[in-house]
Amino acid sequence: MSRRVTIASLQINMAALPSPTTAEANRQLCAAAIDEAAGYGADVICLPECCTTANLPPDDPERLEPLPGPSFALWAERARRHRLVVVGWQYELDGERYHNTGFVIDRDGQLVGRYRKVHSTPNAIANGEVPGDEFPVFETDFGRVGMMICYDAYFPEQARILALKGAEIIFYPTMSDARHEPIWELVARSRAVDNGVYVVSAVMRNSYMAYSGIFAPSGHVVAARQTWAGGLAVGTIDLDERFRSEGHSGIAQPADLQALYWYSRRPEVYGELCALRHDLDLEAVQGSRAEQPR
């Protein structure tokens, strides 16, 4: 049995975009990437965080849009035209509030669901972003998928919850400020290995060394866009091909490692994870960071 899925992940070089630009120009750039992904036979494309807002003036009213809105409408038309799934991103206007939102469009151009970033950065919250509080898993025709956006990936609980809820692929739109590639890459690969899932990064590349890619449950890189240039990382995976290892943890025969991890979990002793708190305010956090040697 085989569930082969061809995945495309868009990388955008922010420095190569006009500055200032418009939301419509950014949307059209993403639409062109969807067209290109279709040429590779992609079943799904993931767009990066800030793909609609990169290089927009900070007071541009088009930074925020409802969902469904203009970006959704354009990309949904492309999803229908090419019969592929689109994992999109936008700043979602919801009444007087706004969220950092990822969403899934199916091959018919219908909204499958939305995910509102749970771990908003302190600066984003100060600027009015409202964090979400749910970890949805979405059904697609090729498998179950979840999302984490940028800073979310540094909280391993999120990927674990998504995997336990059945996500087989975690899409990871990001515009990170991690300026050392090993840190960013280790986080992405670790979330895949920890949970027996595929992680797909889609990167708005600026002054840091992250890249768009597909990371396997084994920790291997299936596909990568390891260049400053924008473009697609494209790879094919088989969701029915389980990651197995012989002799792991005293198990003599080849074992499905995700199933082994789930079998070996002890949630009854993990209560401290939620009970323990650090009473830190933002000023203290920023001060402690500033005092660290560089």
Active site residues: 49, 117, 150
Cα 106 to Cα 7, 85, 165, distances in angstroms = 14, 5, 20
The pair of structure tokens assigned to 11 is 């990388």
**Residue-wise DSSP of 18-61:** -SS--HHHHHHHHHHHHHHHHHTT-SEEEPPTTTTTTT--TT-G
- Note the maximum CA span of the chain: 61
Cα 181 to Cα 84, 91, 184, distances in angstroms = 31, 26, 5
d(CA 294, CA 288): 13
- Number of residues assigned to the chain: 294
